[in-house]
A and B are shown apart, each in its own frame.
Chain A
Amino acid sequence: MKMKPILEVKNLRTYFYTRRGVVKAVDGVSYELGEGETLGLVGESGCGKSISCFSIIRLVPAPAGVIVGGEILFGGSDLLLKSEEEMDRIRGAEISMILQDPMTSLNPLFTIGDQVAEPLQIHQKLKGEGLREKVREMLNLVRIPSPEVRMKEYPHQMSGGMRQRIVGGMVLACRPKILIADEPTTSLDVTIQAQFLRLLKEIQHTSNLSMIIVTHDFGIVAKACDRVAVMYAGKIVEMAGTVELFDNPEHPYTAALMKSLPKAGMRQNRLYAIEGQPPDLRTLDSGCSFAPRCPRAMEICRKEYPPRVEINDGHTLSCWLRKGEVLND
């Protein structure tokens, strides 16, 4: 599945300088996002998946968080070199983002109409009836019933699912090329999750949107993503097409994650769990960061970080267990 990349992240490194040491939240992450493609970023809490996304739109919590290196190529130029004003023009218009919690994502004092109108006012300078028309159109697109009435209502009058759809309507209002969704369905219940994902996919198909979905839920990956990148301790350990990854999880970490998924009709009482704890991101040594928890760790794993190899078309991983064509990052 080779597509023209719309976004290329190269060797991105985002560190947090805290009083108790440097936290390497994102440490050398590289991936590309094709036009109209959906990339899933999966991993445990604290593995750097959200921070790598906030790095793309340059909203790493300052002053502790600093993007220390790498390139983020979008439309032929590096986003990391742009000024704040240029970023303001890109955010919301070209690259947009959905946050995790729809309950707090909407300004309690804005009507739904004002909320959705915000990016349109900022970027397209729309006013009056033209603006209202566009807002109505967006609310229709995200399936808010009777938008004319809802436009005048406030967030507290909406349910969680509706609010997340309204957030969707807002961030997609200027028809961005890339949508980053940071655990968009985590705080929704399961039926609403499916509904919201379907909606996102539909919008994606009609408007050729590229998406990055951050999640820790393989169910969402299976439903929505074309390609998956598995992150561990600030690095991508394995990346492949969704079907390929589910069929052949090569990295021991991915394999372990898959093994710990509950399956329908499973008769076992206890779920499989990966031994140990995720490493402290302040004290990583030179070896593979998964080595201490890896059941198949070898001598070399503790000494040297494995290079990224391509074992199949588009299936890359960093593990000493597999030999393949070494990629230079």
Chain B
Amino acid sequence: MSISVQSTAVDGTSRQESGARLWAMVLHARELPLFSIGLLLLFVITGIFGDFISPHDPLRTNLRAVLLPPFWEETGTATYLLGTDHLGRDILSRLICGAGVSIEVGFSVIIVAGLLGTLVALLSGYIGGRIDAALMRLCDIVLSMPYLMVAIVLAAVLGPSKENIIIILIVLGWASYARVLRGEVLRVKEGDFIRLAVIAGASPVRIMFRHIFPNIVNTLIILATLQLGMVIITEASLSFLGLGVPVPEPAWGSMCAEGRGYIYDAWWIAFWPGVAIMLVVLSCNFLGDWLRIRLDPKFRQI
């Protein structure tokens, strides 16, 4: 990539060069995916400090200002930058506060499911035998269940709440970590250094957590990053179906659902949360890809 950038510089088309560099930075930068990191940072900050930075109360309705378009449209106002919904609530504020829900669900699910999956992978891969067989069959069962269907059934049984959504997504999410990481454990445990650790007198628990775990943590991080996007989408889907975070608390999924009925008259109600979901998930995937390349020993430069 840098070669093509240089060759254009020789031609003297510096404008093209900066364009190419920007494009590289945005999409598949080797250095740092500024776009993804920036967007995720923005997402995390708004998620955490949403209540302080949102210009309006996300729950306050204003029936004198329903279905206002974004500010650049003729009837739009600067008070409601991205417009208002059918109850006159500020979309920008709801978007900002909705980020908090996605963050909370997304991060708690990838952390807990990731740790659970890692534990299963270590036990299964290192100890092997019957434990391995039992855990992997359990994994197969979880992985073979249609994700969204089960989530819907569970959400219907447990009732829609943020906590239940988190539990459901953890229950369904650990298996894919366990599957991939078990393979890593099997690869790592064959190494002579694990044998040498056993010779040094290390107990199985010590081997698993001190010797094997650090060797699979790269994979865990990459998986978790890619899963974050997936979890956010699933949460949004459940909220869209009315099985996620209960209204009126703002969640991107339910905002899309509310906007569905007005899609011809007020496109912005469903449009903004949709864009937000897409950008965040896209950033997660870019970041995951970048991490995969950076942490892959084949690409590592010492």
**B194-233 interface mask toward A, CB cutoff 8 Å, 1 = contact, 0 = none?**
1111111111001000010011000000000000000000
Asked whether B74 is an interface residue with its Cβ less than 8 Å from the other chain, the reply is no
Residues of chain A from 106 to 156 with CB closer than 8 A to chain B in the complex: 106-109, 118-119, 122-123, 156
A170 in contact with B206 (CB, 8 Å): no
Residues of chain A from 146 to 169 with CB closer than 8 A to chain B in the complex: 156, 167
A99 and B195 in contact, given A88-B201, A170-B200, A171-B200 (Cβ under 8 angstroms): yes
Interface size on A, residues (CB 8 A): 29
A91 in contact with B191 (CB, 8 Å): no
Bound Cα distance A279, B285 (Å):
56
Q: Give the nearest-CB partner of B198 in chain A.
A: A59
Q: Which residues from B are CB-within-8-Å of A105?
A: 192-193, 195-196
Q: Which residues from B are CB-within-8-Å of A107?
A: 191, 193-194, 197, 211, 215
Bound Cα distance A85, B302 (Å):
40
Q: Which residues from B are CB-within-8-Å of A99?
A: 192, 195-196, 199
Asked whether A104 is an interface residue with its Cβ less than 8 Å from the other chain, the reply is yes
Residues of chain B from 157 to 209 with CB closer than 8 A to chain A in the complex: 191-203, 206
A118 in contact with B214 (CB, 8 Å): no
Q: Give the nearest-CB partner of A156 in chain B.
A: B302
Bound Cα distance A101, B129 (Å):
28
Q: Give the nearest-CB partner of B206 in chain A.
A: A122
Q: Give the nearest-CB partner of A120 in chain B.
A: B200
Residues of chain A from 244 to 286 with CB closer than 8 A to chain B in the complex: none
A104 and B191 in contact, given A99-B196, A109-B214, A109-B215 (Cβ under 8 angstroms): yes
Asked whether A209 is an interface residue with its Cβ less than 8 Å from the other chain, the reply is no
Asked whether A318 is an interface residue with its Cβ less than 8 Å from the other chain, the reply is no
Q: Which residues from A are CB-within-8-Å of B192?
A: 99-101, 104-105
Residues of chain A from 57 to 90 with CB closer than 8 A to chain B in the complex: 57, 59, 63, 85, 88-90
Q: Which residues from B are CB-within-8-Å of A89?
A: 201
How far does the Cβ of B214 sit from chain A's closest Cβ, in whole Å?
5
Q: Give the nearest-CB partner of A103 in chain B.
A: B192
A119 and B302 in contact, given A59-B195, A99-B196, A107-B193 (Cβ under 8 angstroms): no
Partner of B199, one of A63, A85, A96: A96
Contact residues of B: prevailing secondary structure: helix
Bound Cα distance A105, B192 (Å):
5
B129, B196, B198, B211 pick with most chain A CB within 10 angstroms: B196
Bound Cα distance A241, B196 (Å):
30
Q: Which residues from A are CB-within-8-Å of B206?
A: 122
Asked whether A48 is an interface residue with its Cβ less than 8 Å from the other chain, the reply is no
Bound Cα distance A167, B199 (Å):
11
Asked whether A93 is an interface residue with its Cβ less than 8 Å from the other chain, the reply is yes
How far does the Cβ of B45 sit from chain A's closest Cβ, in whole Å?
32
A123 in contact with B201 (CB, 8 Å): yes
Bound Cα distance A90, B202 (Å):
11
Bound Cα distance A57, B199 (Å):
8
Bound Cα distance A107, B195 (Å):
10
A93 in contact with B199 (CB, 8 Å): no
Bound Cα distance A93, B49 (Å):
54
How far does the Cβ of A20 sit from chain B's closest Cβ, in whole Å?
22
Bound Cα distance A90, B200 (Å):
9
A91 and B203 in contact, given A101-B192, A107-B193 (Cβ under 8 angstroms): no
Q: Give the nearest-CB partner of B197 in chain A.
A: A118
Q: Which residues from A are CB-within-8-Å of B199?
A: 57, 59, 91-92, 96-97, 99, 171
How far does the Cβ of B290 sit from chain A's closest Cβ, in whole Å?
21
A59, A100, A122, A170 pick with most chain B CB within 10 angstroms: A122
**A164-191 interface mask toward B, CB cutoff 8 Å, 1 = contact, 0 = none?**
0001001100000000000000000000
Bound Cα distance A88, B203 (Å):
6
How far does the Cβ of A79 sit from chain B's closest Cβ, in whole Å?
14
Partner of A91, one of B129, B201, B211, B215: B201
Q: Which residues from B are CB-within-8-Å of A59?
A: 195, 198-199
A122 in contact with B193 (CB, 8 Å): no
Bound Cα distance A160, B195 (Å):
18
How far does the Cβ of B197 sit from chain A's closest Cβ, in whole Å?
7
B191, B193, B194, B199 pick with most chain A CB within 10 angstroms: B199
Partner of B200, one of A85, A91, A101, A104: A91
Q: Give the nearest-CB partner of A167 in chain B.
A: B196
Bound Cα distance A134, B193 (Å):
21
A96 in contact with B191 (CB, 8 Å): no
Bound Cα distance A89, B198 (Å):
11
Q: Given A106-B196, A107-B211, A156-B302, list of 15 further CB < 8 A pairs?
A: A59-B198, A85-B203, A88-B202, A91-B201, A92-B200, A92-B201, A99-B195, A99-B199, A104-B191, A104-B192, A107-B191, A107-B194, A119-B200, A122-B206, A171-B200
Q: List 5 contacting pairs A-B, 8 Å CB cutoff, sorted by A.
A: A105-B192, A105-B195, A105-B196, A107-B197, A118-B200
Chain A residues with a Cβ under 8 A of chain B: 57, 59, 63, 85, 88-93, 96-97, 99-101, 104-109, 118-119, 122-123, 156, 167, 170-171
The 10 nearest A-B residue pairs measured at CB: A92-B201, A92-B200, A104-B192, A119-B200, A107-B193, A91-B201, A105-B192, A97-B199, A109-B214, A122-B201
